[in-house]
């Protein structure tokens, strides 16, 4: 993928802009939207973007900040998962704490929002507190969102415990959207003002990019990524009326702004410095783009990936029909079709060819993989290994100039793995997964130079694109992600089995 984003320029500008904003106050609460660490969406749509750029921005000013993590009790109760890593929000909070500490950032506490004694959430609170993590419990805010007098009172925000903070910048983040970050910030503003402290609020949302056109592919890709939330890009009418400048924002921020402005003014007793939702933002990501066409093409490819992802989620019952229909409309609006993803047609054609050869209606999964030089490699499922593993082995053979007919993994290694899996562990799935095959390859690499050459090429798969003719297992999807390969799937189950898939 051609690069189009200057990560160093972004890092420098973003750090400087945050510090300029905090100079107006004794303390600044920054609501951080999106992924603080591992922002893979931003990395895909802004080629050149560092997926950990935001955490590195904070590391630049780590002596002046501390972090508060919010998680909505309802998300813990229903085991909501972070899509890209496949882990639940409570586990994501633990992972986030470990990662923040690794970057030497001070984690102040975890806030459980809209807590009403939910059983699974109570267990999670106990787990945190017994590991020495400070936990604050915030109940639903009385009067929210319309009764400003009640919200800004001891019955509203005043009913929440005050979070003790000591640094001039407090970053409020979360495992995902709708976790209560805004409410936590405003609750703190209420308590800080009662204590006579000069505090401010700002928002850091990477997308949509305010200084890009409403229908720029980067912003459309954001809509595609949030179809389940029904986010819609819109012109910030408040910004346009006040400054005569078009800025892109999204529907939820625009709908909430009048009430939010009133709440802030009620808390501070002064006219708000913010005249628009865009004024609240501190994001400078748009200034890091230096090749608009490269970024636009990357975003168009992300829209197609999101189309396939939404189709699979609909098939699994994870999103409703309206989300899938919205995603289809986004594809039409962007003048895109699934086949514009280069790996789709080779995968489909090979699958149809195999189907005609075996004269059966049984599905044979095919994975097509596009290497970074544009070469297309395919692999098919078999009784021995899944299609993902076959495609990866074929790809590293090509990269290492190893003949196609050379065995990389000895049957002496594979047979005991299959026996362990089926006879000892009782699995009904004989075919080895991608991770199992890569483990076998690493064992063979000890004595087989060709296998070692193939292993050495695995790192060169980062940035490759793959497509499967059936939905992959969660394990294979995660292994592709660890290899840095962006994979999509047709919304087709690989078998008629309901559990043993």
Average pLDDT of the segment spanning 45-64: 92
Concatenate the DSSP letters of all residues of 49-98 into one string.
Answer: --TTHHHHHHHHTGGGEEEEEEEEHHHHHTT-EETTTTEEHHHHHHHHHH
The superfamily in CATH containing domain 1-206 is dip2346 domain like (3.10.630.10)
Domain boundaries, the chain: 1-206, 293-333, 342-489
pLDDT value for 24: 79
The superfamily in CATH containing domain 342-489 is Domain of unknown function (DUF1846), C-terminal subdomain (3.40.140.40)
Apex CA 198: angle with CA 195 and CA 203, to 5°?
Answer: 115
Residue 360 pLDDT level (bands cut at 50, 70, 90): low
Name the 3-class secondary structure at 248. Answer: strand
Per the prediction, the chain carries an average pLDDT of: 93
Contacts of 12 by beta carbon, 8 Å cutoff, 6+ apart:
none
Across 67-76, 80-89, 206-215, 469-478, least confident range: 80-89
Work out the percent of the chain whose per-residue pLDDT is above 90.
Answer: 78
Concatenate the DSSP letters of all residues of 134-173 into one string.
Answer: -EEE-PPPTTTTT-HHHHTSTTTGGGSPPPP--SSEEEEE
The Cα–Cα gap between 358 and 128 comes to 55
The 465-468 sheet, strands edge to edge:
376-380, 366-370, 465-468, 486-489
pLDDT value for 130: 97
pLDDT value for 501: 63
Residue 363 pLDDT level (bands cut at 50, 70, 90): confident
pLDDT > 60? residue 361: no
Q: b/e map of 194-221 (b: 16 or more CB within 10 Å)? A: eeeeebbbbbbbbbbbbbbeeebbbbbb
Going by C-alpha positions, the residue among 58, 42, 54 that lies closest to residue 4 is 42
Going by C-alpha positions, the residue among 4, 11, 103 that lies closest to residue 54 is 11
pLDDT value for 82: 79
pLDDT value for 426: 85
Residue 421 pLDDT level (bands cut at 50, 70, 90): confident
Name the 3-class secondary structure at 301. Answer: helix
The Cα–Cα gap between 293 and 219 comes to 14
- Alpha helices by DSSP H, listed for 369-473, are 387-399, 411-419, 434-444, 449-456
pLDDT value for 90: 96
Q: Other CB atoms closer than 10 Å to residue 384's CB: what's the count?
A: 16
Q: Which two tokens stand for residue 498?
A: 């309901």
pLDDT > 80? residue 499: no
Contacts of 128 by beta carbon, 8 Å cutoff, 6+ apart:
93, 110, 135
Average pLDDT of the segment spanning 298-325: 96
Average pLDDT of the segment spanning 246-266: 93
- Positive or negative, the CA dihedral 4, 9, 11, 16 is negative
Residue 176 pLDDT level (bands cut at 50, 70, 90): confident
The Cα-based distances of 211 to 70, 218, 289 in angstroms read 28, 11, 11
pLDDT value for 500: 63
The Cα-based distances of 446 to 35, 239, 405, 409 in angstroms read 39, 63, 20, 11
Say which residue, 476 or 498, is predicted with more confidence.
476
Going by C-alpha positions, the residue among 488, 429, 435 that lies closest to residue 458 is 435
The crossing angle, in degrees rounded to 10, of helices 217-225 and 321-333 is: 170
């Amino acid at each position: 993928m051609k690069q189009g984003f200057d990560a160093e320029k972004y890092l420098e500008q973003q750090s400087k802009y945050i510090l300029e904003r905090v100079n107006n106050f004794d303390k600044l609460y920054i609501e951080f939207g999106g992924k603080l660490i591992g922002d893979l969406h931003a990395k895909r749509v802004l080629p050149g973007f560092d997926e950990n750029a935001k955490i590195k921005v904070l590391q630049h000013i780590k002596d002046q900040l501390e972090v508060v993590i919010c998680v909505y009790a309802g998300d813990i109760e229903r085991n909501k998962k972070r899509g890209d890593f496949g882990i639940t929000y409570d586990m994501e909070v633990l992972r986030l704490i470990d990662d923040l500490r690794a970057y030497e950032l001070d984690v102040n506490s975890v806030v459980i929002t809209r807590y009403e004694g939910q059983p699974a959430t109570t267990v999670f609170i106990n787990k945190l507190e017994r590991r020495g993590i400070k936990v604050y419990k915030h109940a639903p805010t009385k009067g929210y969102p319309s009764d400003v007098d009640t919200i800004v009172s001891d019955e509203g925000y005043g009913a929440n415990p005050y979070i003790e903070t000591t640094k001039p910048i407090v970053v409020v983040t979360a495992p995902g959207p709708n976790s209560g970050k805004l409410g936590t910030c405003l609750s703190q503003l209420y308590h800080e003002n009662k204590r006579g402290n000069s505090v401010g609020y700002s928002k850091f949302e990477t997308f949509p990019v305010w200084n890009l056109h409403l229908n720029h592919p980067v912003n459309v890709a954001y809509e595609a990524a949030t179809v389940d939330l029904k986010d819609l890009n819109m012109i910030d009418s408040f910004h346009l009326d006040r400054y005569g400048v078009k800025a892109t924002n999204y529907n939820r921020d625009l709908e909430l702004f009048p009430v939010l402005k009133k709440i802030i003014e009620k808390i501070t007793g002064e006219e708000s410095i913010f005249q628009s939702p865009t004024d609240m933002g501190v994001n400078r990501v748009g200034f890091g783009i230096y090749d608009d066409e490269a970024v636009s093409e990357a975003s168009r490819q992300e829209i197609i990936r999101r189309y396939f992802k939404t189709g699979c989620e609909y098939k699994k019952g994870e999103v409703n029909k309206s989300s899938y229909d919205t995603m289809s409309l986004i594809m039409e609006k962007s003048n895109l079709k699934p086949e514009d993803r280069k790996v789709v047609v080779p995968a489909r054609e090979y699958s149809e060819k195999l189907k005609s050869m075996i004269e059966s209606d049984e599905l044979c999964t095919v994975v097509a993989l596009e290497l970074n030089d544009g070469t297309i490699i395919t692999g098919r499922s078999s009784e021995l290994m899944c299609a993902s593993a076959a495609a990866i082995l074929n790809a590293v053979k090509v990269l290492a100039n190893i003949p196609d007919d050379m065995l990389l993994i000895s049957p002496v290694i594979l047979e005991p793995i299959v026996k362990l899996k089926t006879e000892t562990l009782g699995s009904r799935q004989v075919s080895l997964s991608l991770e199992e095959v890569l483990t076998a390859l690493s064992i063979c690499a000890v004595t087989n130079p060709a296998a070692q050459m193939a292993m050495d090429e695995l790192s060169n798969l980062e940035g490759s694109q793959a497509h499967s003719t059936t939905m992959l297992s969660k394990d294979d999807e995660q292994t592709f992600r660890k290899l840095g390969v962006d994979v999509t799937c047709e919304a087709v189950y690989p078998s008629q089995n309901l559990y043993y898939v």
